[in-house]
Amino acid sequence: MDSSKANNAAQQGTESEVDQPGGSGRVQALERAIALLQAVADSSPDGESVTVLAARCGLNRATAWRLLFTLEAHALVDRDPHTNRYSIGFAMARMASAAGFDTLVRRAHGVLEKVSEQTGETAGLAVVQRLGLTYIDEVTPPVILSAKWLGRQVPLHATSTGKALLAWLPQAEAEALIVERLVAYTDTTVTDRVRLKGELAEARTRGFSVCAGELERNLYGVSAPVLDRRGRPFAVMSIWGPQDRVPRERFPDLGALAHGAAEDIAAALQDL
């Protein structure tokens, strides 16, 4: 066999090893690398060893190590030289930042429309950012005049949106976000930390948080977290309106709707 034929045979052999059975066109090695990236992301913030990551992905340790070595070379993962634990690398953060929120809005907007139509109220979606939450999409019934929240950040202790984030974060992370004095925006704003902690526990138990005129006297609402595979909130789904249309008596029904909508949004993003 001449050298060109040998090279072709070697190339075909390599391709046959990485292509998925059945001629699906999906590259097995790439899918394994993606599975490892997801496992690394799920292990944050502490990271995990190659042995554990390999087991989670159903790979032998040598294969997992080679893939992680390649991912590390491209800054997609980062290895702590002291613990040999892997975490998500800077290149992944840079790509995520470049992507923005277009995909999330596109996937979630239909859910917001459905909720707004069902309730007759405004449905909004806020995303978790380093220091809090920012609204990125909302749907308001056409016959209703409502405050616009797009692009706004909100105080976490005085809104159902913020309380949904705090309730589903680990306690230490939640407390780090509200180290400043809790400002009273209205006479119903919760400014006592012990009382707020109790409210957050109640929110986790029932699956949604509530706000009764705590930021703006006449604005009432409910919120539920959109959770990732680890159970961490990365966005919050909210329903709100004026007190005469969203009284406390509607909180259980609206809260259940918000909880279901948050699960729908999370499911729509599972294949990203």
Q: Give the C-alpha separation, 161 to 129, whole Å.
A: 13
pLDDT at residue 21, rounded to an integer? 46
pLDDT at residue 144, rounded to an integer? 60
> What pTM did the predictor assign?
0.66
pLDDT at residue 117, rounded to an integer? 92
Integer CA distances (angstroms), 67 to 37, 50, 63, in order: 10, 10, 6
User: Do 157 and 200 meet the contact criterion of CB atoms below 8 Å apart?
Assistant: no
Residue 23 φ then ψ, to 5°: 65, 35
Q: Give the C-alpha separation, 93 to 166, whole Å.
A: 23
Q: Which pair of structure tokens corresponds to residue 259?
A: 């909880």
DSSP string, 137-180: EEE--TT------TT-B--GGGSHHHHHHHHHS-HHHHHHHT-S
Integer CA distances (angstroms), 260 to 200, 248, 251, in order: 19, 19, 14
pLDDT at residue 179, rounded to an integer? 86
pLDDT at residue 15, rounded to an integer? 38
Domains annotated for the chain, with CATH where assigned, are 3-95 (1.10.10.10), 100-268 (3.30.450.40)
The mean predicted confidence, pLDDT, of the chain is 84
pLDDT at residue 143, rounded to an integer? 64
- Using 70 as the pLDDT threshold, list the residues of the chain that sit under it: 1-24, 45, 90, 93-100, 130-131, 143-151, 271-272
